[in-house]
């Protein structure tokens, strides 16, 4: 049964996430071809990771580290019992991010989300969730647009 369009406008969050330096490293390591649990410590970083993590002497988050915190309201939306989505049938259709501010260790990020569209096409349901994440200074760090595709069983 298609997902009811009446859920358009449903809001999720706020969710909060505190940025940690080791988590930024783990993420860069996992994306960069390394093994997170065997990552590096101290002040150095493998040469291959320098642009991802270090701007001069300052650690910043890899842009799509926002996957880690901005996904929270999206996750709440697609697991909302009133939508009745079978997660095994869900795949990620599209993703868009606009980046405004880098994230740094110690930042506290608050994310909110809203379902902006629901439609059915070719035996699949499509759910669009728009998210916004702000830092502790109230500045928007990233906006996301998430498209979930749910295949019919």
Q: Which parts of this chain interact with other proteins (CB under 8 A)?
A: 23, 26-27, 29-37, 51-53, 55, 60-64, 67-68, 71, 87-99, 102, 151
In the bound state with other proteins, the residue whose beta carbon lies nearer, of 33 and 81, is 33
Give me the least distance between CB of 97 and other proteins, in Å please: 5
In the bound state with other proteins, the residue whose beta carbon lies nearer, of 33 and 138, is 33
Give me the least distance between CB of 38 and other proteins, in Å please: 10
Rounded alpha-carbon distances, angstroms, from residue 84 to 3, 64, 123, 132, 137: 8, 28, 16, 24, 36
Give me the least distance between CB of 141 and other proteins, in Å please: 11
Tokens 């928007």 appear where? Answer: 140
Do 136 and 108 form a contact (C-beta atoms < 8 A)?
yes
Q: Give the SS3 label for residue 146.
A: strand
In the bound state with other proteins, the residue whose beta carbon lies nearer, of 6 and 137, is 137
Do 98 and 136 form a contact (C-beta atoms < 8 A)?
no
């Amino acid at each position: 049964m298609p997902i009811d369009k009446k859920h358009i406008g449903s809001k999720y969050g706020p969710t909060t996430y505190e940025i940690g330096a080791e988590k930024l490293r783990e993420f860069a390591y996992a994306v960069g071809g390394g093994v997170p649990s065997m990552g590096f410590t101290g002040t150095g970083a493998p040469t291959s990771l320098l642009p991802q993590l270090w701007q001069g002497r300052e650690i910043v988050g890899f842009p799509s580290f926002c996957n880690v915190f901005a996904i929270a309201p999206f996750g709440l939306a697609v697991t909302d019992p009133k939508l009745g989505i079978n997660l095994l049938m869900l795949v990620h259709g599209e993703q868009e991010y606009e980046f405004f501010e880098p994230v740094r260790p110690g930042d506290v990020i608050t994310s909110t989300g809203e379902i902006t569209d629901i439609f059915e096409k070719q035996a699949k349901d499509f759910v669009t969730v728009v998210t916004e994440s702000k830092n502790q200074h109230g500045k928007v760090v990233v906006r996301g647009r998430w498209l979930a595709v749910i295949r019919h069983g």
